Structure 1
């Protein structure tokens, strides 16, 4: 890699990826939609390119001379419907792919999500062969559609590859964990079935490490799960994260059955009355936070040479006494 283009560069993963790439003396350009995004991208070490992922002219100009595209941009929202998310996730990926093809870009690395196999049931031995016929949220549905389209576009001239992390976390997180922190501060955080179920996670540094490995290998048309390499009890992980912020986890718990019933009621009310806000509980949240979810990253270890570069313990130490946002 010599010159790369990043979408989602002002986000949590994007800023960390830019720092990693520039530390390796790689020239980085990143798509930006606002002055605020420009500033975050510049501070991370990249050159902002003002535009939108749906703007064909901007992308075709921006990708001239680029050898690798990292497509990270996404609306991480497990409440919004497929209809609401399709335009950005699938439509945006299509425009970016076409621009990459027109500019003879060599590598197209997609940041997918482990939730593309979630089916409302416990997953204890998931891998890349695991498929779901019952994706219950628009986010996972559209991320999978985009991934399938991108991998299908793999060719001798444009190598495409996808990385599937589970819960991404770490210092500077601006997504899931700050929401958990806010819920804990309000006293609204309850664990489903006591939160004793096992999950896997992926620290942002491990995500960026995997993305750069994916950009360098010769393999194309494949998806790879990546993790921190540790099975964690959900409640203990959340407790440990909150502890780094000098906060205690609540003792409140609710059964899976009650959580699902409440989620369905809230979803019905919000959909019936067309409420614009996000309900306090909904089916996608229950599936994401309330069920065992274990996937193997053996394929990434074997074919990408992936190994975690930071442990969960090290990541927690790094977060200690530092604000998440």
Structure 2
């Protein structure tokens, strides 16, 4: 791999990937929607390619001459409408695939997620044989599942999917800032006490999986990656908040009540014609209130994957 094109290069995962690729000596181009995004990817050492996921021509320009495309861009904004999630995750992915084929790219690595398996049930030590859930009631899981189906069935491309769970670490622009804001606003509560187990994936481990997938992943396959052994959700989030000098609250909502509140809110929002999400939605309950543990044996065996950063090291880095 000598030339890579990255979508989402100004974001958390995409930015860390760009930094790694540049550091490894590759030439990197990255999609940039505006001036701030262009400045960010240039700062990381990549060439900005102006455009967005709705513009196949700009995507094809970024793909031109590339040995591999990494599709890291996704719509993840809480409260987004189904239309926004579909446009960003499904239509955007379809456009990236079309652009890669037009440019003659051989290999594409897609940043997936364990959320693509979520439809209300806990995920307990799941592996890649677990079914995707494009029929999920929540827009993020449904659209990420639909996007992955497009990627894995794409013709004329070698496609590989990497699925991290709960990506965290320095540079996080999503999970940790949102948690801190919720605590400070008095809106944070554990769901079911937070005593369930969860997998986590430090940003360095996520990027390691993506790079290995580009080099060794079998076309059409998906691979889970994580930090290794799972951890109790409450313990991890408490430590994560502590790195920012924030003490985790003790307030808790029973899981059954949280499910009821989410279902009630979702129905009310639908009746009202609201395009955003209610204060407590399905995906929040599933992602933060139920076990989510994954088996990374396939990535270990086929990619040679092993975590390159421990949780202790990652937490120390955040405190620093």
TM range (shorter): over 0.9
1:53–1:92 contact (8 Å) kept in structure 2: yes
Partner of 2:153: 152
- 2:217 and 2:15 mapped to 1: Cα distance? 25
Alignment of 1:128-139 (within 5 A): 128-131=128-131, 135-139=136-140
Question: How big is the shift at 1:270?
Answer: 2.8
Which deviates more from structure 2 when the two are superposed, residues 213-222 or residues 76-85?
76-85
Aligned residue-pair number: 319
Is 2:111 aligned against 1:111?
yes
Q: What is the CA deviation profile of residues 142-165 of structure 1, one whole-angstrom value per residue up to 9, with x for unaligned ones?
A: 11111111111155xx21100011
Alignment of 1:1-325 (within 5 A): 1-77=1-77, 79-131=79-131, 135-153=136-154, 155=156, 158-217=157-216, 219-275=218-274, 277-321=276-320
1:169–1:202 contact (8 Å) kept in structure 2: yes
Structure 1 runs, 4 residues or longer, greater than 3 Å off = 77-84, 274-278
1:79–1:137 contact (8 Å) kept in structure 2: no
What is the aligned-residue RMSD (CA, Å)? 1.6
Any idea what SS the aligned residue of 2:201 has?
strand
- 2:178 and 2:270 mapped to 1: Cα distance? 22
- 1:108 and 1:302 mapped to 2: Cα distance? 21
Question: How big is the shift at 1:60?
Answer: 2.2
Q: What is the CA deviation profile of residues 120-174 of structure 1, one whole-angstrom value per residue up to 9, with x for unaligned ones?
A: 122212110112556231111111111111111155xx21100011111001100
Q: What is the CA deviation profile of residues 172-217 of structure 1, one whole-angstrom value per residue up to 9, with x for unaligned ones?
A: 1001221111111112111111110000010111111100000111
1:119–1:132 contact (8 Å) kept in structure 2: no
Q: TM-score if structure 2 supplies the norm length? A: 0.95
Unaligned 5+ segments in structure 1 are: none
2:76–2:85 contact (8 Å) kept in structure 1: no
- 1:78 and 1:230 mapped to 2: Cα distance? 28
- 2:243 and 2:158 mapped to 1: Cα distance? 40
2:217–2:303 contact (8 Å) kept in structure 1: no
2:266–2:277 contact (8 Å) kept in structure 1: no
Q: What is the CA deviation profile of residues 33-55 of structure 1, one whole-angstrom value per residue up to 9, with x for unaligned ones?
A: 11011111111111110012221
Any idea what SS the aligned residue of 2:131 has?
coil
- 1:88 and 1:218 mapped to 2: Cα distance? 25
Question: How big is the shift at 1:278?
Answer: 4.1
Question: How big is the shift at 1:96?
Answer: 1.4
- 2:217 and 2:125 mapped to 1: Cα distance? 27
1:154–1:221 contact (8 Å) kept in structure 2: no
Which deviates more from structure 2 when the two are superposed, residues 120-129 or residues 66-75?
120-129
1:79–1:284 contact (8 Å) kept in structure 2: no
1:81–1:137 contact (8 Å) kept in structure 2: no
